[in-house]
Structure 1
Amino acid sequence: MSLVLAEEEKQAHHLRSTLRSTGSRLDQEMRRANQAESKAEFAELRVQELTSRVSTAEMGKRYAELDAARANEEIRRHQMRIESLEREVKQLQADIRILERQRNEADESASRARDTARKFQIELSKQQTKEQGIEQGRRYGSKKWFVTGHNEGWDAGYSEGFEDGRDDGFEEGRQYGIREVRESNPGFKQGHKIGRKEGFESGRDQGRHEERERALHAFDEFFASEIDEDDFTVTSFLIMSFANPLPSPGLGSGRRRPKNLPSLPLSAFSPPSTGTSDMFPLPPTPSTLFPGEVIDAHLRSEAPQSAGTDLAGTEVAGVVLLLNNLGMPEGLQSSLLQNVRVLSVAAPFELSSPIPSDYSAHSESSIPQSLYTSYTAAHEEPEARSQAIETLKWAFSNSRLIDIDVQSDVMSNVSKYEVFEDLLMKATADLSRDKKVPTVLSNILPPPHDLSLPIVKLLTHPSYRNYQAHSAALSLVPNLYVKFTPPMWNQAVPGPADPTSEMDQHREWKRKIKMFIGPVLEAFGYERIIFGTSPSFAAPSFPNPADWYALVRESFAELAVEQDAIDAIFSLNAKRIYGPS
């Protein structure tokens, strides 16, 4: 029995062992089945992915075929466009050859026009000289008749034969002779003064008109005798276009020349500031125009070494010295007098400071003295403006001349200009008419400017249009002068031009300077422009006086001004207002 039990127990152990082995193998097979299932799923995913890639590749192939077809079509269109452009280029080359022939013909016609214009210029200069002589004779006759009518009466004056001066001067002298009788009547005195002025101007204008008619008649005769009928069309159209921009009825009616050819303006014989060529209509000759002498009317006392500097062979006859303080530095006057005459000295004062109570001019000095100041953006504030007006009133009452260095950009900014103009008007409002104190503005010719702005854009730029308008408005202020000093352009003044350089800084500066000269010259005339070599007090560096002089002289010369204008700008105007009275 025990053996049976032992055997059964042994079989039971064997069965349990077999069962465990079978369970282990079952677990192993289940794991292999799971792995096989995972591999099958992965393979299925790969198949799907590959199927998608194959589909994408087929679509890409179709798109590539479509792109290739479109590219071929574009190539064919571009080839057709190239052929069309080649035909157009050939046509343009033919047109260019035609235009070159026309340009050559126009150059020849312009050359003939320039030759004729030179003749007109010579004849017109003669007529203007004659007119000036007649005007001077009339003035002399008027003055002489004034004295003669006062002292000797009508009969003695009439025997002298000055018919033109009789109406202008004799009546004025006769009225002067009986003034004592009517001196007690203020209304008559004022009316007489106004009437005499109006009568004098009316007679003078009438005389000028008559002399101009005679000059134009002589010009017409010269015009008819000098011009060929074949060349008249181009030349007459050129001259009449400059003289009168409106259409002339004479051209439309087929007349050979106008009945009364108007006087040609100065701009007709000067190169246009924005033209395409500096040689139209007459080539400028800057090498022939030099001032007889130079007055440096703006020399800062920090740069005495530049006094008397040789300016390209032109003599520096005098300087106007702007001092740093109320007294001339010790030894400076004697050192300057060895080199050049000190025409005048200007002492500084501050617009924002209270009125000096102990100021007095240095009467012991034989050199005329005046005052100068600087106007900055800080003086545009209401409180500072009120103080500046009061101080400027004091300066006008205590000085024979006021220099104002304008360090605010009033020429291109409307609001700044209005503030500055208001300051000038209020400061001079209380001055009597007999007290004529000249005011000289510096650093507005040329004004501050951006050199990167080309001339073509500058013409239509608001800053330049404001500059033109403000120049015209300032010219209406009595006894106002403008100094031509080195500008604040954040660059050193360039030296003489290099003939081999097309973009020389000297030429570029000169073009810009001529743009700014034009409005001031037209508004002020050359009688109120003064030359100086030192820059504004806001500029720390000093230019080479010879370089600045060369720029200014060539600029005016290329604007075709006359010799008397060059002499006035560089010396005579400064002598007149700065020299001893």
Structure 2
Amino acid sequence: MTPKRPPTLSPLLFVNQGPLAPGKAWGMSNEQAKSLKPCTGSAPLPPSPSSVHPEYVLDGHWIPACKTDGTDPLFEYLENTLPKPPLESIVQVQLDPSETPITSIPRVQPIMIQPTVLDFASASIPSIDTSKSAPVDIIVPLCRPMSEREWDVLDDVVSRLNGRSEEAPAGEIQDGLSPPKTVKVVLSGLMPPPLTLPSAQLVNSPEFQLHASRLANLSLHANVYLKLLPPVVEVGSSLIEDRKEVADVVTLYLSHAIETFGTHRLLFGSDHCLPLDVLRARAQYSNEITSPVKQGEWYAILRKCIAELGEDKFAMSAIMGSTASGLYE
């Protein structure tokens, strides 16, 4: 029997004083409805993107070699009408063990880290000390989207750090790793990945589908965190001169990362995972790379992208500060 179509509803039901008007509960009289704010609906509207700001900022990836004058122009490109939250601290990346904490930022005591750089060329598992309570920082040096093989290497590293590799019996030391234990793993360089396509082409591209599926698999490791760092592009990319398109592409990647990792496992950093010349050398990449965002512009772009995705102040504060604070302080 062919199902009957439901009756057509009159548009008059949805006018301001109609029985299905926004902000009017079923059975409510017109007099009661008039006492409510018009057209608010039963659920609150999301906050305006311009009104969502973090309580404070903890810069989770700060490299002195990336700063042109040794200072931190974190809010240089933030609109003058928007508030500048206090900078609580910075996580200073030591590329050289002899490097000393930066002292040029007033009232900020840096947190020093020495991350491990993943070597895709050898596909070897790096020697990582997991005996300390501090998180394990791993830099994924990328100048182009990751291949299946590179995702496999990264997944193997994370699995072994968690002691869940199928090849490694529990309790044994494998390939330079300490005995398996659950550690907090912080990955730099994955988010966003190198930008290659405008958003309209990216959304249905094989590279985005691969990134999305493998990142979702990686998110199943509950102890893995992602740093949100400025993107890179090849020199000559059309994205270099198109800030809106850069923001659109970042939002596409960010939306998926929030969906899979949640805002509580994402943290802001103001610098690239490595200085660009070092990154290109470690990735063994022949083409020239650059950044589509200016120094000091990343906070403003990322804050706007997060806010326009409908995240609230709590989520914004987690990404911009409190998650890093919980990991490093």
TM-score by length of 2: 0.70
Q: Which of 299, 303, 306 lines up with 2:71 in the alignment?
A: 306
- Counterpart of 1:295, as a letter, is L
Deviation at 1:399, TM superposition (A): 5.8
Provide the residue aligned with 2:7 in structure 1: none
| 2:55 aligned with 1:292 | yes
> Contact (CA 8 Å) 1:403, 1:439: kept in 2 or not?
yes
**Residue identity matched to 1:425:** S
- Aligned position for 2:323: 573
Change in CA separation of 1:318 and 1:472 when aligned onto 2, cut-off 3 Å: same
Distance in 1, matches of 2:143 and 2:58, equals: 27
Shift of 1:325: 1.6
Gaps of 5+ in 2: 1-10, 31-40, 79-83, 164-170, 172-177, 278-289
Q: Is the contact made by 1:440 and 1:481 (CA closer than 8 Å) also made in structure 2?
A: yes
Pair 1:424–1:309, CA change in 2 (3 A): closer
Identity of aligned residues (%): 22
Question: Quick check: 1:224 aligned with 2:14?
Answer: no
Verify: 1:530 aligned to 2:293, yes or no: no
Report if aligned partners of 1:308, 1:340 keep a CA contact under 8 Å in 2.
no
The alpha carbon displacement at 1:534 in A equals 0.5
Aligned to 2:81: none
Contact (CA 8 Å) 1:301, 1:324: kept in 2 or not? Answer: no
Post-superposition CA distance 1:165-194 (Å, at most 9, x none): xxxxxxxxxxxxxxxxxxxxxxxxxxxxxx
Q: What residue is the counterpart of 2:150 in the other structure? A: 416
Q: Distance in 2 between matches of 1:227 and 1:481?
A: 51
| Pair 1:472-2:240 in alignment | no
Change (3 A) 1:464 1:407: same
Q: Deviations over 1:528-547 (max 9, x none)?
A: 00000001216247864531
- Other-structure match for 1:553: 303
Structure 2 counterpart of 1:341, from 106, 109, 124: 109
What is the RMSD computed on CA atoms of the aligned residues?
A: 3.8
The total of aligned residue pairs comes to 271
* Structure-to-structure mapping, 1:446-461, within 5 angstroms: 446-450=192-196, 453-461=197-205
Q: CA deviation at 1:472?
A: 1.0
> Which amino acid in structure 2 is aligned with residue 463 of structure 1?
E
Q: 1:410 to 1:523 in 2, by over 3 A?
A: farther
398 and 455 in structure 1: CA distance in 2 versus 1, 3 angstrom threshold: same
| Greater fraction of residues in helix | 1
Aligned amino acid, residue 345 of structure 1: M
Output the CA distance in 1 between the equivalents of 2:324 and 2:93: 14
Q: How does 1:191-210 map to 2 (within 5 A)?
A: none
2:286 paired with 1:518:
no
SS at match of 2:233: coil
- What is the aligned partner in structure 1 of residue 186 from structure 2? 440
CA distance in 1, matches of 2:120, 2:149: 12
Q: Distance in 2 between matches of 1:535 and 1:489?
A: 12
Aligned letter for 1:415?
R
Deviations 1:132-171 (A, max 9, x none): xxxxxxxxxxxxxxxxxxxxxxxxxxxxxxxxxxxxxxxx
Q: Tell whether the 8 Å contact from 1:493 to 1:547 is kept in structure 2 after alignment.
A: no
C-alpha distance in structure 1 between counterparts of 2:323 and 2:248, whole Å: 25
Cα 1:316–1:225 change in 2 (3 A) is: farther
For 2:20 and 2:145, locate their aligned partners in 1 and report how far apart those are by CA, in whole Å. Answer: 36
When you count strand as a share of all residues, which structure comes out higher?
A: 2
1:492: how far off? 11
Within 1, Cα distance between the matches of 2:15 and 2:149? 50
Give the C-alpha shift of residue 549 in structure 1: 0.7
Distance in 2, matches of 1:302 and 1:547, equals 17
Q: Deviations over 1:50-94 (max 9, x none)?
A: xxxxxxxxxxxxxxxxxxxxxxxxxxxxxxxxxxxxxxxxxxxxx
| Cα deviations by residue, 1:271-291 (Å, 9 ceiling, x for unpaired) | xxxxxxxxxxx8x73211111
Distance 2:270 2:227 in 1: 10
User: How far 1:409 moved relative to its partner?
Assistant: 7.2
